[in-house]
Amino acid sequence: MAAVEIDGSEGEGGGQVLRTSLTLSAITKKPVRITNIRANRPNPGLQMQHLTSARAVRSVCRGKLTGAEPKSTELVFEPGEIVGGRYEFDIGTAGSVTLVAQTLIPILLGAAKESELRISGGTHVMKSPGYDYFEHVFVPAIARFGAQVGTTLIKPGYYPRGGGCMDVIIRPSKLLGCIIWPKEENVQALIRLSNLPEGIAVREKKVFVQNGTTDVHIRNDQSLSVGNAVTCWKGFRGAYVLGQVGKRAETVAQEALDMLKAEKNEVDVHLADQLLIYAALAEGRTAYTSGGISGHFRTNASIIAKFVERDIREEGGCVSIS
């Protein structure tokens, strides 16, 4: 079978092109060749997070992978049979554990037996879903399709040292389309601190309370690096902001709250993108509304269309997959 050719610099041109391509290659059994991987990024080519995802996909479907080396800009993958079971993957840096998990979950839903993953790296890092968003927004959302997934945070990990760890249990599941997305209006918030004074979290909590949100929890953890993460959500709409040196605690909390307040539709702008692959694999029609459609979404839709024949439409924030 001829390989599906993917230009890794297409559209948004980030790591999602690689991850979506590998996931769908494994599921559809279509070989894939990806060139120009992250060509437009300041640090082009495969970084450890992307390498871990690629090698993990090879492991769970016994495939053949060539070009999987640091900074490589070309990769070829020939998928084999999907095999459920126990797996451990260590990124070795603060690369995102949730992005590795999102690469593997759709594949292992089609395995013949339950799978248990332990993934080590960064749990709360920039430019990826933080663990708490993953647990409280993403996992409940894919459950609407019938995906049976459970997750546990073992230890948080922040930039630059990482060292975090999460477990994921994935049970074989048949995916069905979903057109009903209940809107929850009760806001919940989770504030995490690592190796920082608890007063920071108290100040962040005060912002939520002053804005009418009282369902706020604080977790004071130990990790290899200092860290502060604020996550808030209401149903399938969430927001996640990391604290930074020199950034006031009140600003971090207010940014998260403002992001959430701006999400007035069924799913948030990030989830709209993350649901696409499940909708494309599910039997039947899926539809949802989002307050915004990102370039990330459009790139993802373009890659998906190269592997599966589904009609993906978006107009004015209304998404339909049939």
75-133 pLDDT per residue, tens: 999 999 999 999 999 999 999 999 999 999 999 999 999 999 999 999 999 989 999 99
pLDDT for the residue 293: 87
Q: Give dist(CA 232, CA 239) in Å, integer.
A: 5
pLDDT for the residue 39: 85
Residues 6+ apart with CB under 8 A from 145: 175, 176, 177, 178, 278, 279, 282, 286
Task: Tell me if 176 sits within 8 A of 145, measured CB to CB.
Answer: yes
DSSP state of 111: S
At residue 140 the predicted structure's pLDDT band, cuts being 50, 70 and 90, is: very high
- Read off the pTM: 0.97
For CA atoms 199, 203, 208, 210, give the dihedral sign.
positive
Q: Give dist(CA 15, CA 17) in Å, integer.
A: 5
Residue 42 reports pLDDT greater than 90: no
Residues 6+ apart with CB under 8 A from 247: none
**Phi, psi (rounded to 5 degrees) for 321:** -125, 120
Residue 1 reports pLDDT greater than 80: no
pLDDT for the residue 270: 96
**Tokens 């991987």 label which residue?**
37
pLDDT for the residue 292: 83
- 296 carries an active-site annotation: yes
Q: Give dist(CA 120, CA 137) in Å, integer.
A: 21
Mean pLDDT score across all residues of the chain: 96
User: For the segment 244-297, what is each residue's pLDDT rounded down to a tens digit?
Assistant: 999 999 999 999 999 999 999 999 999 999 999 999 999 999 999 998 888 899
pLDDT for the residue 162: 96
Could you give all domains of the chain from N- to C-terminal order, each with its CATH number?
1-81 (3.30.110), 188-262 (3.30.360.20)
The answer, yes or no, to whether the previous bond of 70 is cis (omega within 30 of 0) is: no
Q: Check 124, 136, 270, 296 and give the catalytic one.
A: 296
